[in-house]
Amino acid sequence: MLYFSAGFSPKMLEKGGVVEFKKIDINRLKMLFLSRKDRKFRVGHLGAADLYKQILGVKVELNRAPFILKEGDEMVIILPKRRIEPGEELTHEQMRDELEIFEIKIKKEGK
């Protein structure tokens, strides 16, 4: 499963899970979204949902349901360098300059 979120916590990991982080750009984010059908949004902040909508052109429902990342799961997180207010729209240049985007892969310990 590929999750899109606005944060990460070790509490999201299945026991024994190991995380690999890789910083990516907006183009990679879009490619991941378009290339995968097994995807879910886990976004609990309206500002982050608006950012995903602005970047990907899709409506993102708020979803704070707990979930566990298992071996083989992947996650994309967007982290603004500052607080984005609900409804605030960033220009493409601001998104490039004010966001950090990470691709996360979940592996089992020892693999």
Q: Does pTM surpass 0.75?
A: yes
Give the distance between the most distant pair of CA atoms in the chain.
43
Interval 12-31: pLDDT, tens: 999 888 999 999 999 999 99
Q: pLDDT tens digit string along 56-88? A: 999 999 998 889 999 999 999 998 788 878 777
Q: With contact defined as beta carbons under 8 Å apart, do 19 and 105 qualify? A: yes
Domains of the chain: 2-79 (3.40.50.11170)
- Cα torsion for 50, 56, 59, 65, to the nearest 10°? -80
